[in-house]
Chains A and B, each alone.
Chain A
Amino acid sequence: MLLAVILAAGIFLGPKLFRWAVFDAVLPWSEAASCDGRGACWLFIRERLPQFIYGFYPAPSRWRLDLAFLLLFGWLLVPLLPGLRRKTAGTIAGAAIGIAAAFVLAAGGVFGLASVETDQWGGLFVTALLSITAMVVSLPAGIVLALGRQADSPLWRGLANMTVEVIRGVPLLAILFMAVVLLPLFVPGGEGIGLFTRVVVGLCLYASAYMAEVVRGALRTIPTGQAEAARALGLGYWRCLSLVVLPQALRAALPNIVSTFIQMLKDSTLVLVVGVFDLLGVVQLTVADPKWNGYSAEAYLFAGLFFFAICFSLSRVAARMERHLDNKRTSST
């Protein structure tokens, strides 16, 4: 009978929702000058789309952000290059170069590009930049922290343990506040570090701690025999790690790594509390804009759909990876 209640609610609400969202709505490709208020106003989204994507970036320089977008994602194609040896090193290098180049392009001030302050960055670009930077930095940093947690020396172990436990036990907002407020105090000449940089540092710290846990879990699933055999063959500590243990561990950890990426993408929205306007931040601003009043539903739906689309697809990818791994594990004897 619970089912009946839910179905009844669904049948009642569904068509109303659909009518509002589609039939009565002013669609994004209509030619109306403004919305009539009966249905959803998707025209609002089209009007504001450039702002959602580029933030407050000056219009003539937006091509730089397009290029930066390409750079942010382009390194994912590096493994597909034919005839490329040392693919992992190549991908890592590609990622680092891509992200650095994206930052430089967006900031300007060199190569004859006009300088654009970080407080004019916003929207989807900031979300992409922050998430991808955090993801790319968190992998190596997380690996280092995880290795530190199971090191022999009590110093490394203690440092790594403390770092990971403290960062994981504290809300992301606290880490962001810490980065924004404390970083300038501890670094000489810290006043010059922009808000954006501090936020990036905070996010990377947070992501690294969570990645460290994922990698540590994966390292524990590798039988100790692997490391022992590698040492018996004469491989040093770092060789043993990079050639034998880590490739297996990371492959096993891939679904969890992707889950952490999803988490990072969702958590990147918190930067709006400290004053950096990511996609949600810009959406929130437009909701408050008196000219387009009362369209909060469309705005939130747009933002929600965007995040949902990406996170859901990534979670499906992670689920498929996990099934693939399980099959491999049970099929190999």
Chain B
Amino acid sequence: MRRDGIEYGVYVATACAVAALAVMAIFTLRTRGIHAGFGFLWDTAGFDVSFGLIPYDATKSYARAFLVGLLNTLVVSALAIALATGLGLGLAIARLSEDPPLRTLATAATELIRNTPLLLQLFVWYFMVFGALPPVRQSLHLGSFALLNNRGIVVAAPGMNPVVLLCLAAAAASILTATMERRLSMAIGLFRRAVVRTAFATAGALLLLAAAAFADWELPIQRGFNVTGGLTLPPEFAALVTALAIYAAAFIGEAFRSGFVSVPAGQWEAAQSLGLGRFATLRLIILPQAVRAALPALGNQFVNVVKASSLAAAVGFPDLMQVFGKTTLNQTGQAVEVIGITMAVYLAISLGISGLVHRSEARHWRA
């Protein structure tokens, strides 16, 4: 009984405290001449960004700048996650391999990467690798497809035309059909299902290649002090993606490795007694269980990559944190709104990724 009274008291006190904080904040902001509200989003931004996926310049609104930053964050994170997963898988395989030198090397690399701060690694990549690239006149050439210099990496940019669009659409449809496991298994037998899936997947791959062939590639050409054509990836972008990918790869490798190790030895023995070869055992029995076990840790690392991409603010790459959280905040002074929106976006992304991983966990269990 007494506890109920105390509880109600705490409820009321908390509500009062929150109200007091809000009033306090609005009052302090007013005295600085800043009005609460989201109207500032439609004011002219007045600053440029060095990299963006949508057209943007200084005359556009803060809302537009927000979109640019958000897209950049998503692109950097997606790229880093993809690279990190591949690298991590490789690292895990190396750590579990049978010859000691490879194992030691992989373990040493993992420990080195895991135990140094990400910011330090980012600085090393930015200042000592991508910043140390030669000036434009002496750019390094990677075939005719890419140019590396201290202003960035210029890669050949694909141009869009109707044929490319068609090929891409067909490829997407093809690959989607190949992944539709349950529907297919209802319709046809197991063996035929495997054949059909492989056929669609191959068709998809071929269509992608066709799209690549038909695209009007814009090759980067260096003339004097400038490079014309192509898509320029600023050194900040390259450094951020590389640092994030390598850092996450160490942790993802650890996740894969522990997932692999958690599969009981009895599974191997049972598979062997059934006459399954090493590769078949891996593919049909061990890997599904290993990946299932590693999924939560994997999802966690994916979320960490997205959060760590905010370090772009340390090297000046215009991601969400830099463009919105730093520049917009400094210019408009609308602290509560800007930080609130930024935090809400990151929260949404993290919860979204965690939710997706949860759902795929459940799906694996069902299948």
Contact = CB atoms under 8 A, between A and B. Distances in A.
Interface in B1-60: 7, 10-11, 14, 21, 24-25, 28-29
B351 interface: yes
Given A178-B339, A181-B335, A182-B335, A308 B329 contact: no
A311 interface: yes
Contact of A304 (B114, B120, B336, B346): B120
A195 to B, nearest CB: 15
Nearest to A6: B105
Interface string A247-282: 000000000000000100011011011000000100
A311 B114 CA distance: 9
B264 interface: no
A181 B351 CA distance: 25
Contacts of B325: 173-174, 177
B310 A307 contact: no
A3 B101 contact: yes
Contacts of A168: 350
Contact of B321 (A155, A173, A181): A173
Given A266-B116, A308-B115, A312-B115, A155 B11 contact: yes
B208 to A, nearest CB: 27
B128 interface: yes
B311 A300 contact: no
B339 A267 contact: no
A20 B336 CA distance: 51
A186 B21 contact: yes
A311 B116 contact: yes
Interface in B270-328: 303, 307-308, 310-311, 313-314, 321, 325-326
Nearest to B128: A296
A166 B321 CA distance: 16
Interface string B102-144: 1001000001101111111001100110000000000000000
**Contact-residue bracket for chain B:** 35 or more
B123 A182 contact: no
A153 B3 CA distance: 10
A174 B339 contact: yes
A131 B68 CA distance: 35
A49 interface: no
B202 interface: no
A297 B120 CA distance: 12
Contacts of A287: 127
A185 B343 contact: no
Contact of A270 (B29, B105, B119, B346): B119
Contact of A169 (B28, B119, B351): B351
A273 B312 CA distance: 10
B261 interface: no
B101 A173 contact: no
A304 B115 CA distance: 9
B29 A174 contact: no
A170 B307 CA distance: 6
B222 interface: no
B258 interface: no
Contacts of B99: 3
Given A173-B313, A174-B343, A186 B25 contact: yes
A262 B115 contact: yes
B28 A184 contact: yes
B342 interface: yes
B339 A181 contact: yes
Interface of B: 7, 10-11, 14, 21, 24-25, 28-29, 99, 101-102, 105, 111-112, 114-120, 123-124, 127-128, 303, 307-308, 310-311, 313-314, 321, 325-326, 329, 335-336, 339, 342-343, 346-347, 350-351
24 contacts: A3-B99, A155-B10, A155-B11, A159-B14, A170-B350, A172-B307, A173-B310, A174-B346, A177-B326, A177-B329, A181-B339, A182-B339, A185-B25, A186-B21, A186-B25, A187-B24, A266-B116, A267-B117, A269-B120, A270-B311, A273-B311, A308-B116, A311-B114, A311-B115
Interface of A: 2-3, 6-7, 10, 153, 155, 159, 165-166, 168-174, 177-178, 181-182, 184-188, 190, 262, 266-267, 269-270, 272-273, 280, 284, 287, 296-297, 300, 303-304, 307-308, 311-312, 315
